Structure 1
Amino acid sequence: MLHKIDRFYSVMTKYLGYVLFIFMITMTLNVFYDVVMRYVFNSGSIALQELEWHQFSVIILLGMSYSLMEEAHVRVDVLYDRWSIKKKAMINMMGSIVFVLPIALLVAFNSVDFVMASYSSHEISMDPGGLTHRWIIKALIPASFWLLIFFDFGYFIKNLLLYKKANEQDSSEVGEQ
């Protein structure tokens, strides 16, 4: 059962990577267009400039979950690289529960009021010609942290399986001796 859950999370991580790839490509094209328009044609769009940081925000906020699952998050590799697979898995599971989950829950719950205030006030860009409906990008904050909680569960399962596999290997090595 745990292997099926792990495979499900692997597939979900792959699709999240595709979504992030699309956002990265569109952001790159948007920045390229904006630079060409500004410096070649002395023209530009405030809305497209704001869209750049909206796209960047999407990449960062969704990228948290992707980087967690792909082991691309920050850690002290000087120590971590020297540990056994079993110890790494245990540290990852503990970190998942002690660090990721509480922070993600804190932000997920506490950012909802921030989004609701933006939505109820019909917040728009302060710049003329800027984007409207600013609450949409702000709504991604709690949504992305709920997604992080979702993927944190998958990360825990992934490391639990690694821990069990390492434990079985340790047991089989003791039995052979």
Structure 2
Amino acid sequence: MPRAVRLYVRYVETMNRFVGRLAMLMIFAMIGVLLYSTISRSVFDVSLIWVVEIAQFMMVAYFLLGGAYSMQLDAHVRMDLFYGRWSDRTRAIVDAVTILFLLFYLVFLLIGAISSTLYALEYGQTNYSSWAPPLAPIKIIMTCGVALMLLQAIATFFKDVAKARGETL
């Protein structure tokens, strides 16, 4: 594989490893928010209207920012009806072909995410709830997560092509 492809794969995987491991720590922030809500409701008899939405936003950020790292670790679910019986080369060829469908999907998802984010920024879009938080921050995180997934899918495609050719990246 060309040097540019090797550098691309190395830098994308380094970035996604960093972002993914940082996203893993968000579970503790979610636990903290939900624990704070439980304590405030049980001990102080104060109900907080923002807790559920913050927890939902954090969960969205958690799985969107961690998706590329999960793909890098090959931790996504796949149907193993035939896959387990195939050779590494056959798996790499099938993965390289099927990831093209993922790339197609992610490109359109990214276009939609960018459009949605620009709308939220331009019009100050808020959520339809009594708390009404602005949606731009979570939409920016959503767009970044989809972009990272797209970059990782391209890197995975290069790795699969290299593996099919008998090389390693």
TM-score normalised to structure 2 length: 0.83
The AA in structure 1 aligned to 2:136 is: W
Say if 2:71 is the partner of 1:71: no
Two-structure CA RMSD over aligned residues (Å): 2.3
* Long gaps (5+) in structure 2: none
Please state how far the C-alpha of 1:131 moved relative to its aligned partner: 5.5
How many percent of aligned residue pairs carry the same amino acid? 19
CA distance in 2, matches of 1:79, 1:26: 40
CA distance in 2, matches of 1:82, 1:91: 13
CA distance in 1, matches of 2:111, 2:44: 45
CA distance in 2, matches of 1:17, 1:35: 28
- 1:81-160, aligned counterparts within 5 Å? 81-97=84-100, 99-128=101-130, 130=131, 132-160=133-161
Structure 1 residues 35 and 78, CA gap change in structure 2 (3 angstroms) = farther
Alpha carbons 1:85, 1:166 under 8 Å: kept? no
CA distance in 2, matches of 1:166, 1:123: 48
More helix by share: 1
Q: Aligned with 1:42: secondary structure?
A: coil
CA distance in 2, matches of 1:15, 1:133: 27
Structure 1 residues 135 and 10, CA gap change in structure 2 (3 angstroms) = closer
Say if 2:6 is the partner of 1:21: no
The AA in structure 1 aligned to 2:94 is: I
Alpha carbons 2:20, 2:68 under 8 Å: kept? no
Say if 2:55 is the partner of 1:52: yes
Please state how far the C-alpha of 1:73 moved relative to its aligned partner: 1.5
1:33: which partner in 2? 36
Alpha carbons 2:109, 2:146 under 8 Å: kept? yes
Q: Aligned with 1:77: secondary structure?
A: coil
Alpha carbons 1:30, 1:48 under 8 Å: kept? yes
Please state how far the C-alpha of 1:158 moved relative to its aligned partner: 2.1
Please state how far the C-alpha of 1:156 moved relative to its aligned partner: 1.3
Alpha carbons 1:124, 1:132 under 8 Å: kept? yes
Give the greater-gyration-radius structure (CA). Answer: 1
- CA distances 1:119-158 after superposition (whole Å, capped 9, x unpaired): 2321224434x25321221233333222211111111122
CA distance in 1, matches of 2:134, 2:83: 44
TM-score normalised to structure 1 length: 0.80
Please state how far the C-alpha of 1:5 moved relative to its aligned partner: 4.1
CA distance in 2, matches of 1:4, 1:117: 35
Please state how far the C-alpha of 1:166 moved relative to its aligned partner: 6.9
